[in-house]
Chains A and B, each alone.
Chain A
């Protein structure tokens, strides 16, 4: 850093000015120039000393079109707000940066050095002198519009959200239908959240199961809610953080870490909005940037939590929630995202290596939901297998916590609403190649994680479901059956879990059970393609081809592009003697997928039979 000497002198200045500052304040009342009590003390000027700090740390948000409420680009701008700037920097309200400084560095850190803060304060006390224009660095240039250049695809929210003029914070979700017709790789999604002055943070969730759409009152309308449950995983199966906060440049994934975007995938933008005093329309847009380079590295998102421990009595000032998870394989931590709501106070994440050394992964001494963020490490943090990651979050449910949504305080438990609490720590982790050839290290981590969550809470639906899916993937049907059964025990009406259990029962030859659970899946979601398809198969296996026909027809109606559903519908038709229509569906299946073997074989058989049996 070339600034070292300058900031050092600034630091000593603070000590010298402490008493001079008082004098200056008195003198200002009479509008006399600041007394030159210490003639050796160099004059601090905007052009030489303050502009570099402001241009680098403040201007990225404080310029027109960005989140800052006023520009900080000129001497006049800064002078107008000088006292304010000294105040908010001294209290470290600005620039907004929650983590305490530590051994590990983050990308795009927005933290002023103590000496820089002292310099600003002294400059204000000295009367905000402009200085010599020759020493003024060039005004920073900013790109208007898309920061990463013209996106390959721009998606705009179909309907804007009307943010009321007053009231408490709003949480609104926008569902974007993506227009890709085949799987594509994304290197970046640039989030333009609408009016940046109103959006505190936003993150994109990849929704492959239309979970978001089902919550919209009408298509494109969006829906309210602070925390989302998106099927498949709470974040994304490809495990990327897609996050926007004011002042953070959009993130481009490194080569080999692209994000897969499939056909029929929705992107759900979760936004946290704060009223401005007048009604505002919020209409975000997403810019998609494609790449030809597919993902070769596959990070996963680890979630530590102890929601069950979140039962905070009113008045508690230091309620501790902790969780510890031991990594089963060597891994690199790429990013970290601690999350609590309005009672969160001190958020700490530690790594204890097998040799006993401890690393602070992140420490936020004064949690503020408004400035929550995903923090990406400047360099990946390598942790060997056997490292224990510890979450230590404390909560303040007293009346002294101004943000406490309950006044007077009430007992608060875990939940998705703003008045509930959360204790989540997410880490984006890249597992390193396992020496155990053939075992995907991601599976090892996911399995360890699911078991960990079940240990924490035997009624953790997602953990049982995820563990079952992993076991099924590994071919352990009895194990999968057990875990899916647990998931359905916890949520008997959950369509996804019933469908999965039905599928495993079917695969294990337990047809009656399969039919019962697949029917249960359809009860909750009559338009559930997978359940219709599976139930068709189960009924066909029982010899009930009429029943199977109904469900294959429904499947084809719901997804006209699925070759297997067409082929199976053809088979059921053939079994019920409707050879003419069966042929049409086999042909349709081959039209969709010329390589569909079932359709080809059945069609060949139909042809053979029609030749051998004269009409």
Chain B
């Protein structure tokens, strides 16, 4: 898999786009609103903008991905442990996953984390993720410090350890909170591809 096909140029371009969105008045009727993620009521939301000095963790999931579903208790637990300092968002990139299906999914799996729909893959690109469940961690300066798997519970699809032995997301949160420029090595997630053809 060629994960490095996003060149730095692309990343910088994305940041520029975000800055532009920042400067523009936040009006949901604006055509630009099409280029954002939205909450389940359909309102545009930029999770990086409303972080209020906290680091931001975007967790990409699907309602029907068994691997991301199995992570639900872990995701919920980590979000509680870091509640004071890290803002967690669940991001559903599936184009066909309705707000109603997502609400049901949240109830069933006991999620208390706010959910976003990202059918245009704005956050997918910003977080440089390809798989559910992968995470993207942004420091307080909105810099992407980590993107990839949560931990190494899965070595491959259907090939799970009895417990994870590395914990990349926790390490990345710690690094982001320490304010160091340290970035955690990206490790591939195992799970379901975020399809751009859906």
CB distance from A586 to the nearest CB of B (A): 62
Quote the shortest CB–CB distance from A497 to chain B (angstroms): 36
| Distance between B134 CB and nearest chain A CB, rounded to angstroms | 14
Q: A166-B74, A276-B69, A277-B72 are in contact. Are A70 and B197 (CB under 8 A)?
A: no
Given contacts A76-B96, A80-B94, A276-B70, are A70 and B110 in contact (CB under 8 A)?
A: no
13 new A-B pairs (CB below 8 Å) besides A69-B65, A81-B195?
Answer: A25-B5, A69-B64, A69-B66, A81-B192, A81-B193, A83-B197, A96-B158, A165-B72, A166-B73, A166-B74, A275-B70, A277-B73, A371-B158
Can you name 27 A-B pairs with beta carbons within 8 Å? A25-B2, A28-B196, A69-B66, A70-B64, A80-B96, A80-B195, A81-B192, A83-B193, A84-B192, A88-B157, A91-B157, A127-B197, A165-B72, A165-B109, A165-B110, A166-B70, A166-B72, A169-B162, A276-B69, A276-B70, A277-B70, A368-B159, A370-B158, A402-B156, A403-B160, A407-B163, A418-B162
B155 at the interface (CB under 8 A from A): yes
Report the Cα distance A128→B198, complex, angstroms.
10
Once the chains bind, are B162 and A168 in contact (CB under 8 Å)? Answer: yes
Question: Are B94 and A402 closer than 8 Å at their CB atoms?
Answer: no
Partner among A76, A91, A168, A418 whose Cβ is within 8 Å of the Cβ of B156: A91
* Residues of chain A with a CB closer than 8 A to B2's CB: 25
Does chain A have a CB within 8 A of B50? no
Name the B residues within 8 Å of A407 (CB-CB): 161, 163, 165
Which positions 386-415 of chain A face chain B at CB distance < 8 Å? Answer: 402-405, 407
Q: When A and B form their complex, what is the total count of cross-chain residue pairs whose Cβ atoms lie within 8 Å? A: 88
Asked whether, in the complex, the Cβ of A82 is within 8 Å of the Cβ of B155, the reply is no
Separation of A73 and B167 alpha carbons in the complex (Å): 37
Q: Which residue of A lies closest to B75 (CB)?
A: A277
A277 CB contact (under 8 Å) in B69, B96, B193 = B69
Q: Does A608 belong to the interface (CB within 8 Å)?
A: no
Residues of A169-190 at the interface with B, using a CB-CB cut-off of 8 Å, are 169
Chain B residues within an 8 Å CB radius of A96: 158
A87–B70 alpha-carbon span in the complex (Å): 20
Residue of A nearest to B131 (CB): A84
The answer to whether A278 touches B72 (Cβ under 8 A) is: yes
Q: Does A133 contact B (CB under 8 A)?
A: no
- When distances are taken between beta carbons in the complex, the residues of chain A under 8 Å from B158 are 93, 96, 368, 370-371
Say whether B108 faces chain A, with CB atoms less than 8 Å apart: yes
Contact with A along B77-103 (1 / 0, CB 8 A): 000000000000000001010000000
Q: Tell me which residues from 33 to 91 in chain A have a Cβ below 8 Å from any Cβ of chain B.
A: 69-70, 76, 79-84, 87-88, 91
> Does A452 count as interface, using CB distance less than 8 angstroms?
no
Say how far A97's CB is from chain B's closest CB, in angstroms.
12
**A29 to B5, Cβ gap below 8 A?**
yes
Q: Which residue of A lies closest to B152 (CB)?
A: A402
> How far is B73's CA from A93's CA once the two chains are assembled, in angstroms?
25
Interface residues on A, range: 35 or more
Q: Verify A93–B157 contact, CB threshold 8 A.
A: yes
Within 8 A of A (CB), among B152-198: 152, 155-163, 165, 192-193, 195-198
Chain A's interface: helix, strand, loop or mixed, by majority? loop
Residues of chain B within 8 A of A168, CB atoms compared: 162-163
8 Å CB interface, A268-295 against B: 274-278
**Contact of A298 with B by CB under 8 A:** no
How far does the Cβ of A342 sit from chain B's closest Cβ, in whole Å? 8
Task: Classify chain B: how many residues form its interface, as a range.
Answer: 20 to 34
Q: B197–A82 contact, CB under 8 A?
A: yes
Q: Which residue of B5, B71, B162, B192 contacts A405 across the interface (Cβ within 8 Å)?
A: B162
Chain B residues within 8 Å of A368, by CB = 158-159
Partner of A79, one of B73, B110, B163, B198: B198
**Residue A105 at the chain B interface, CB threshold 8 Å:** no
A residues 103-143 near B (Cβ < 8 Å) are: 127-128
- Across the interface, do A83 and B195 meet the contact criterion of CB distance under 8 Å? yes
User: Residue B195 contacts which of A82, A93, A197, A274 (CB distance < 8 angstroms)?
Assistant: A82
Q: Chain A residues with Cβ under 8 A from B94's Cβ?
A: 80
Cβ A79 vs Cβ B109 within 8 A: no
The interface centre, meaning the residue of B109, B196, B197 with most chain A CB atoms within 10 A of its CB, is B197
Cα–Cα distance between A494 and B2 once the two chains are bound (Å): 62
- CB A279 to nearest CB in B, in angstroms, measures 9
Give the CA-CA distance A402 to B195 in the complex, in Å.
Answer: 27
Return the CB mask of A5-24 against B: 1 if under 8 Å, else 0. Answer: 00000000000000000000
Are A277 and B192 CB-contacts (below 8 A) given A69-B64, A70-B64? no
B192 partner residues in chain A, CB cutoff 8 A: 81, 84
> Which residue from A80, A276, A402, A418 sits with its C-beta under 8 Å from B161?
A402
Complex contacts, A80 vs chain B, CB 8 Å: 94, 96, 195, 198
Q: Which residues on the A side are within 8 Å of B108 (C-beta)?
A: 278
What residue in chain B is nearest A275 (Cβ atoms)? B70
Question: Within the complex, what minimum Cβ distance (angstroms) separates B10 from chain A?
Answer: 9
Q: B140-158 toward A: CB 8 Å interface, digit per residue (1/0)?
A: 0000000000001001111
Contact with B along A155-173 (1 / 0, CB 8 A): 0000000000110110000
* The 5 A-B residue pairs with the shortest CB-CB distance in the complex, in nearest-first order: A402-B155, A277-B72, A166-B73, A277-B69, A83-B193
Q: How far is the CB of B40 from chain A (nearest CB, A)?
A: 19
A168 to B72 Cα, complex, angstroms: 14
With A25-B2, A405-B162 as known contacts, state yes or no: A277 contacts B64, CB within 8 Å: no
User: What residues of A have a CB within 8 angstroms of the CB of B159 in the complex?
Assistant: 368, 402-403
Bound form: Cα–Cα A96–B193 in Å: 19
The reply to whether A197 and B66 contact each other, CB–CB distance below 8 Å, is yes
Contacts of A25 in B (CB 8 A): 2, 5
- Whole-angstrom CA separation of A596 from B156 in the bound complex: 65
Q: Please, which residues of chain A bring their CB within 8 A of the CB of B5? A: 25, 29
The smallest C-beta distance from B14 to any residue of chain A, in angstroms, reads: 13
Nearest CB of chain B from residue A373's CB, rounded to whole Å: 14
A418 to B69 CA separation, bound complex (whole angstroms): 24
Q: Are A128 and B160 in contact (CB under 8 A)?
A: no
A165-B73 in contact given A69-B64, A70-B64, A76-B96 (Cβ < 8 Å) = yes
Which residue of the partner chain A has the closest CB to B70?
Answer: A277
- Residues on B with C-beta less than 8 A from A371 are 158
In the assembled complex, the Cα of A84 lies from the Cα of B161 at a distance in Å of: 21
Q: Of all chain B residues, which has the CB nearest A87?
A: B193
CB closest residue in chain A, given B61: A277
Min CB–CB distance B84 → chain A (angstroms): 24
Specify which chain B residues have a CB less than 8 angstroms from the CB of A166 in the assembled complex.
70, 72-74
- Shortest CB-to-CB span from B59 to chain A, Å, is 13
| Chain B residues within an 8 Å CB radius of A370 | 158
Residues in A whose Cβ lies below 8 Å from that of B110: 165, 278
Closest to B1 in A: A87
Q: Residues of B contacting A84 with CB < 8 Å?
A: 192-193, 195
Q: For A29, list chain B residues within 8 Å (CB).
A: 5
